[in-house]
Amino acid sequence: MARVLTPRAEDFPRWYQDLIAKAQLADNGPVRGTMVIRPAGYAIWERMQAEMDNRIKAAGAENAYFPLFIPENYLKREAEHVEGFSPELAVVTHGGGKPLAEPIVVRPTSETVIGEFMAKWVDSYRDLPLLLNQWANVVRWELRPRIFLRTSEFLWQEGHTAHADEADARAYARRILHEVYEDMMVNVLGIPVVVGRKTARERFAGATSTYTLEGMMGDGKALQLGTSHELGQNFAKAFDITYSAATGGMEHAWTTSWGTSTRMLGGLIMTHGDDNGLRVPPRLAPIQAYVMVVKAGDGVAEAAAKLRDALRDAGVRVALDERVDTPFGRRAVDAELKGYPVRVEVGPRDLAAGNAVVVRRTDGSKTPVPVADTVGAVLAALDADQQALHDEALALRQSRTVEVATLAEALEAAATGWARVPWSAVGVEGEAEANGQGVTVRCLVRADGSVPDSEDEPDLIAILARSY
Amino acid sequence: MARVLTPRAEDFPRWYQDLIAKAQLADNGPVRGTMVIRPAGYAIWERMQAEMDNRIKAAGAENAYFPLFIPENYLKREAEHVEGFSPELAVVTHGGGKPLAEPIVVRPTSETVIGEFMAKWVDSYRDLPLLLNQWANVVRWELRPRIFLRTSEFLWQEGHTAHADEADARAYARRILHEVYEDMMVNVLGIPVVVGRKTARERFAGATSTYTLEGMMGDGKALQLGTSHELGQNFAKAFDITYSAATGGMEHAWTTSWGTSTRMLGGLIMTHGDDNGLRVPPRLAPIQAYVMVVKAGDGVAEAAAKLRDALRDAGVRVALDERVDTPFGRRAVDAELKGYPVRVEVGPRDLAAGNAVVVRRTDGSKTPVPVADTVGAVLAALDADQQALHDEALALRQSRTVEVATLAEALEAAATGWARVPWSAVGVEGEAEANGQGVTVRCLVRADGSVPDSEDEPDLIAILARSY
């Protein structure tokens, strides 16, 4: 088969760009750093949204929508927040044909404006917790943009909650981290993330704790796939989110925020993609089974349509490709690029023998199956390949993760994968030194893999890596 | 019952504002003209999105996402388009801490940027029709903002399609108009819209034909609820969207665009709201049945929970209110404000007689029903009230629409409702005169109610009204 993409081993970043272009997932937008998400890419994003939204609602949060435009002074009220975001802001200075009295920023995130409204809506402890989420676009000016990974505009969900006390806020930030995000990443995206705590240096601007989910990409680098933050009382104090406590007296609330974005599309590609294109885990895939008429022939189109209907009736997301005037090879290459989990090829020769051919994207296997057994074979393949993709990614992560004892060894290991090193052997100074060499502490975890409450706990493991 | 809202008859705009505030649907945002859509309002919008999205996909369009930021020069390429939108633009002049070389506009609509990409993606007649839709926020600077109706930022879907010839473009713009929009407005929102053609004066900037759906609000004014445009070859020429025809040779495509927005929420309120609050048609309602524990008592909470489960199992979208520490009256007033179609009240006294009470929001009726029959009674009420709300709105429109023969009579009738007048009695000059008095030609229709292909057809009826 002709080479369709630059092989990953030859040039991973180039392979990534090639795949996005040839699978028609996205294009660069006309304003530097922006992107156009094409239908094939957006369909995957819609499935991500649906799965994530279900989980967010199950965790009790309600969707709302806050404005794109934020008065510049809002950003300034929380000192670390403004410092963190100032270099990345897009500023609107003219509206309706006139200069504006006060500049407006395009939201880089919505803690400030949501804080303002939480202050209005919360009166008493009975109004807490207040659990909000929004699906929105945000803007952070990017000097080195890369589609899905770093774009000046991206799509995301951002959750914002207010609680009566620190324990409740912490429990909720952790609930989102594990029940919503980790479950989504592992069981839908098939990405075996490491869940941990960011160091102070890597924390979100204005947070007291930042939790993260880190995935290893196909080139051994790390990608942050989602974060959940405890904001302490920082934003509650900046925006005066107070409530009358059950015991009397006014208290400041404790807030959290948490987000995942179109960056997940980049993580999906770099975790599961191979040299033939994307591989989409079946549970996520907008099209799980792609029924192809190989070429015209007696009863072929009818048999393919019947299979499409039978698969749909069995609950499979299915599409039918009967474009027999386009060469089959080209359509098959395109189906591989787009990563449909299973192809069902229906052609005159196999059909004469009573068979369709089930082609699995994950391992490339092609199996002739009696037409009557095809639905069962597809369902079995979808089940098996969800697990297979996850396990393949886990095996890669394990093979490229090294346990080391010193910073020097960790920096060496980070050239090709991840290093696990005692945090006590790195520390704040070691972290700065690593940063100077393009390596970051992705997160801190406990020896048993659980998430620390503080970076000062004894015996923590730091995971060091290069990252996107 | 204490007066909750300013009565409609006393001050309709004030009633509208009161309702939005007290039903907690939305707030004004901090930047003038922007809005915050609160959970109760956003849940309705999500249901609108789901119903609309299903219909759009059934019409063959695929979702995609194009950038928020558009180079200023794009707007300038289509002369009427730039003229139409220039006064409403928000302009970004600074990004990443520096002045930008070229100003960027925040999209007021995406014809231009989508035109640019259609030109890249379309090569041959085989690539047509190209049917795209996006869900997005857009910005049009508003001097006289009103929540949901005119806001500087609003949420919408915008469809953009390219076709090989004018007939195909026209057929698709009309398909969206009737199969998607009219079906949605009439059968989901319960708004008996009039579907017609805009005059040249009222056409979208850059369109050759604009079709519209107009609803009559509770005060007799008109609201444009959606539009579908034929853009001819205007944008195809401005952005060079060409294709190689089956017959050989390069041709410019014919494009369409069509949109509906959060304005539908305003239309919903002003069509179905009454002096006690919102009334949401059952097919749209995020919560169709609201099961309320009236007060604590033996087995009451259990009976209410069982009813909730039984309703959910019957496919009803249901919520349970067991906040017995909040006075029942306050909760009932809130349920009326929010417009849940059916309340199921479960209290000790009725329960002792084996009953629950089914309260219908549409007509306010309260009917004790044996607990075992409650699900059936709720389903029957939901069915009946979907129709009842539509019919009530239709009766209002009919009672407030007058058939007249002259412009003078039409202007008089437009003080309290709609006038139907021969277009030949108005004409371009009469239209300008009407505009001077705050009255617009909402649309042109044929005598049989169908949609004209041109404003020059004989015997057209013009509908004149005041509008939002």
From A405's Cα to the closest Cα of chain B, the distance in A is 40
Question: What is the predicted pLDDT for the residue at B3?
Answer: 80
Question: What is the predicted pLDDT for the residue at A3?
Answer: 80
Q: Is B388 on the interface with A (CB under 8 A)?
A: no
Q: Is A135 on the interface with B (CB under 8 A)?
A: no
Beta strands in B275-434 (DSSP E): 289-293, 318-321, 342-346, 355-360, 366-370, 401-403, 418-422
Domains (ranges, CATH) in chain A?
12-272 (3.30.930.10), 289-397 (3.40.50.800), 401-465 (3.30.110)
Reduce the secondary structure of chain A to three states and give it as a string. Answer: CCCCCCCCCCCHHHHHHHHHHHCCCEEECCCCCCEEECHHHHHHHHHHHHHHHHHHHHCCCEECECCCEEEHHHHHCCHHHHHHHHHHCEEEEEECCEEEEEEEEECCCCHHHHHHHHHHHCCEHHHCCEEEEEEEEEECCCCCCECCCECCEEEEEEEEEEECCHHHHHHHHHHHHHHHHHHHHHHCCCCCCEEEECCHHHCCCCCCEEEEEEEECCCCCEEEEEEEEECCCHHHHHHCCEEECCCCCEEECEEEEEEEECHHHHHHHHHHCECCECCCCCCCCCCCEEEEECCCCCCHHHHHHHHHHHHHHCCCCEEEECCCCCCHHHHHHHHHHHCCCEEEEECHHHHHCCEEEEEECCCCCEEEEEHHHHHHHHHHHHHHHHHHHHHHHHHHHHHCEEECCCHHHHHHHCCCCEEEEEHHHCHHHHHHHHHHCCCEEEEEECCCCCCCCCCCCCCCEEEEECEC
Contact B34 A69 (CB under 8 A): yes
Nearest CA in chain B to A92: B92
B positions 22-61 inside 8 Å of A (CB): 27, 29-31, 34-39, 42-43, 45-46
Question: What is the predicted pLDDT for the residue at A1?
Answer: 52
Q: Tell me the pLDDT tens digit for each residue of A68-79.
A: 999 999 999 988
Mean pLDDT (whole number) for A341-356: 97
**Tens place of pLDDT for every residue, chain B, 468 residues?**
568 999 999 999 999 999 999 999 999 999 999 999 999 999 999 999 999 999 999 999 999 999 999 999 999 998 898 899 999 999 999 999 899 999 999 999 999 999 999 999 999 999 999 999 999 999 999 989 999 999 999 999 999 999 999 999 999 999 999 999 999 999 999 999 999 999 999 999 999 999 999 999 999 999 999 999 999 999 999 999 999 999 999 999 999 999 999 999 999 999 999 999 999 999 999 999 999 999 999 999 999 999 999 999 999 999 999 999 999 999 999 999 999 999 999 999 999 999 999 999 999 999 999 999 999 999 999 999 999 999 999 999 999 999 999 999 999 999 999 999 999 999 999 999 999 999 999 999 999 999 999 999 999 999 999 999
Contact A37 B120 (CB under 8 A): no
Q: Is A67 on the interface with B (CB under 8 A)?
A: yes
Contact B67 A43 (CB under 8 A): no
Q: In terms of DSSP bridges, do strands A222-230 and B242-244 run parallel, antiparallel, or are they unpaired?
A: unpaired
C-alpha B260/C-alpha B135 separation (Å) is 10
Q: Is B324 on the interface with A (CB under 8 A)?
A: no
Which chain B residues are closer than 8 Å to A137 by Cβ? 68, 136-137
C-alpha A151/C-alpha A29 separation (Å) is 10
From B42's Cα to the closest Cα of chain A, the distance in A is 5
Which chain A residues are closer than 8 Å to B27 by Cβ? 117, 120
Closest CB to B68 among A38, A113, A137: A137
Work out how many CB contacts closer than 8 A connect A with B.
Answer: 165
From B413's Cα to the closest Cα of chain A, the distance in A is 34
Contact A63 B39 (CB under 8 A): yes
CA–CA–CA angle B252, B253, B258 (5° rounding): 145
From A194's Cα to the closest Cα of chain B, the distance in A is 30
Q: Is A62 on the interface with B (CB under 8 A)?
A: yes
> Best interface-test mutation with A: which of B27, B65, B111 has the largest number of A CBs within 10 A?
B65
Nearest CA in chain B to A112: B30
Contact A29 B113 (CB under 8 A): yes
Nearest CA in chain A to B39: A64
Q: Tell me the pLDDT tens digit for each residue of A8-67.
A: 999 999 999 999 999 999 999 999 999 999 999 999 999 999 999 999 999 999 999 999
> Best interface-test mutation with A: which of B48, B63, B68, B130 has the largest number of A CBs within 10 A?
B68
Q: Tell me the pLDDT tens digit for each residue of A166-193.
A: 999 999 999 999 999 999 999 999 999 9
> Best interface-test mutation with B: which of A22, A24, A28, A31 has the largest number of B CBs within 10 A?
A31
C-alpha A67/C-alpha B34 separation (Å) is 6
> Best interface-test mutation with A: which of B45, B63, B69 has the largest number of A CBs within 10 A?
B69
Q: Which two tokens stand for residue B374?
A: 């409650």
Q: Is A88 on the interface with B (CB under 8 A)?
A: yes
Which chain A residues are closer than 8 Å to B150 by Cβ? none
From A23's Cα to the closest Cα of chain B, the distance in A is 13
pTM of the model: 0.97
Which chain A residues are closer than 8 Å to B139 by Cβ? 68-69
C-alpha B213/C-alpha B191 separation (Å) is 10
Contact B90 A70 (CB under 8 A): no
A positions 5-24 inside 8 Å of B (CB): none
Largest CA distance in chain B: 82
From A231's Cα to the closest Cα of chain B, the distance in A is 22
Closest CB to B137 among A45, A68, A89: A68
A positions 175-194 inside 8 Å of B (CB): none
Contact A29 B88 (CB under 8 A): no
| ipTM, two decimals | 0.97
Closest CB to A31 among B39, B69, B132: B69
Contact B71 A31 (CB under 8 A): yes
Q: What DSSP assignment string belongs to B56-96?
A: HHHTT-EE-B--SEEEHHHHTTSHHHHHHHGGG-EEEEEET
Contact A67 B36 (CB under 8 A): yes
Quick one: which of B78, B364, B369 has its CA closest to B229?
A: B78
Contact B90 A89 (CB under 8 A): no
Q: Alpha helices, DSSP H only, in B198-296? A: 234-239, 263-272
Closest CB to A71 among B30, B103, B137: B30
Q: Is B130 on the interface with A (CB under 8 A)?
A: no
Look at residue B174 and give its three-state secondary structure. Answer: helix
Question: What is the predicted pLDDT for the residue at A232?
Answer: 98
Q: What is the DSSP letter of B215?
A: E
Contact B136 A139 (CB under 8 A): no
Q: Which two tokens stand for residue B25?
A: 């649907």
Nearest CA in chain A to B154: A67
C-alpha A300/C-alpha A302 separation (Å) is 5
Q: Tell me the pLDDT tens digit for each residue of A80-113.
A: 988 999 999 999 999 998 999 999 999 999 999 9
Which chain A residues are closer than 8 Å to B91 by Cβ? 92-95
Q: What is the DSSP letter of B180?
A: I
Confidence of residue A367 (pLDDT cuts 50, 70, 90): very high
Alpha carbon distances (Å) from B367 to A41, A88, B288, B362, B374: 51, 60, 17, 13, 10
Q: Is B116 on the interface with A (CB under 8 A)?
A: yes
From B65's Cα to the closest Cα of chain A, the distance in A is 5
Closest CB to B67 among A31, A39, A97: A31
Contact B95 A89 (CB under 8 A): yes
Which chain A residues are closer than 8 Å to B93 by Cβ? 91-94
